[in-house]
């Protein structure tokens, strides 16, 4: 797990990703980069690959697990498709260890800036939106739970 003291803010991570994607002229190269990101993602335990952790709305199977600690969310993810695993790993890279309010306030604009949604098939683009919705839903749920205590 990443130490919360060493977490960079969302905007800085997004800017880094935008710069990384800008290094590639062709979308084929950007897809290869996404695949590499997916390979770097730590696998979640098979016991976490449950129906409850499955993101609805994705053509591929994508599992997203989340836990809360110290007002921050920690994500783990996996997918049975390489491009999709790269996409979820990109989101985990940005939002892992971030505060609830920062995730809720995030506009996910880096997705548009790198042109990801526009260069995905319609089913993968819908899956991306489902991943984003799930991350935001976790942030809202944990924030509300904390406020109730």
Active site residues: 58
H/E stretch holding 69:
strand 62-69
Rg for the chain (alpha carbons), in Å? 15
What distance lies between CA 102 and its chain's CA centroid? 14
Start-to-end C-alpha separation, the chain: 25
């Amino acid at each position: 797990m990443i130490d919360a003291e060493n977490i960079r803010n969302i905007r800085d991570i997004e800017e880094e990703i935008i710069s990384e994607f800008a290094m590639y002229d062709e979308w084929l190269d950007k897809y290869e980069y996404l695949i590499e990101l997916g390979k770097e993602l730590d696998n979640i335990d098979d016991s976490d690959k449950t129906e409850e952790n499955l993101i609805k709305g994705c053509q591929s199977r994508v599992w997203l697990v989340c836990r809360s600690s110290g007002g921050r969310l920690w994500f783990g993810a996996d997918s049975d498709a390489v491009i999709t695993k790269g996409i979820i790993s990109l989101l985990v890279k940005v939002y892992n260890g971030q505060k609830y309010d920062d995730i809720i306030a995030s506009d996910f604009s880096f997705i548009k800036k790198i042109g990801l949604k526009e260069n995905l098939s319609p089913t993968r683009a819908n899956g991306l939106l489902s991943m984003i919705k799930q991350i935001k839903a976790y942030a809202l749920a944990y924030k509300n739970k904390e406020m109730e205590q």
